[in-house]
Amino acid sequence: MTAEDFQNGQILLIDKPLQWTSFQAVNKMKWVLKSKLGLKKIKIGHAGTLDPLASGLLLVCTGKFTKIISELQGQPKEYTGTFYLGATTPSYDLETSIDKTFPVSHINDLLLYNTTKQFLGEIDQIPPIFSAIKKEGIRLYEHARAGEFVEIASRKTTIYEFEITRVAIHEIDFRVVCSKGTYIRSLAYDFGKALESGSHLIALRRTKIGNYHVNDAMDVTLFEDSVAPNSTSD
């Protein structure tokens, strides 16, 4: 594609690697477009943040297509991943260490199946304290890292599909289709409570946004290789 193609607007499907922030991925792509195509400026943004500990589909819009980012953000999203049963962490994932442990001997396949049904439809969900949501101008994770207590209001979210795809002793794999604003980390925590145990997220991958699938996405480094240098400038 040419510089003009990117300026007119593209929706790029990127498979964000682990440990990268969504901002880093977009910033890398912006640098590639500017340096390889000789652009002085280019509008570019993503349609939905992924945590550094999550991999998977990131929709990146360029040029005039940045105007439809909010529309893309509103599309249902599909995730796959793994919950670890019998323990919780303050961040609800692997960012922090285990703080409490719980029994799991009473958990069986039937209980897991019945518990997933409790979360289908519209639910009230409290975002994790380790999140980028702002309260009084300060991000929640900053309060958390400072050891400060913050009261967080619940939010409405919708779980369209929730299935368990593998069961081990402490680990369960899942697939979830949900609305915008759903925190899978909070789902892991609430799922553990509903089982009268504990749970935290140990793996997460976003596989779909609307009709866009991660199978059609490319790695950031492959994107860099795919952009051919030219002298077009803006």
Which residues are catalytically annotated?
A: 51
Contacts of 89 (CB under 8 A, 6+ apart): 95, 96, 97, 98, 99, 200
Place of tokens 């369209």: 160
Buried b (16+ CB within 10 A) or exposed e, 38-74: ebeebebebbbebbebbbbbbbbbbbebbeebeebbe
Place of tokens 């860099």: 224
The Cα angle at residue 163 between residues 159 and 164, in degrees rounded to 5: 140
Instruction: List strand residue ranges (DSSP E) for 68-111, in order.
Output: 77-85, 87-88, 100-101
Rounded to 10°, the helix 109-118/184-194 angle is: 120
In contact, 197 and 221? CB cutoff 8 Å: no
- Identify any residues that bridge with 156 across adjacent strands, giving them in sequence order: 124
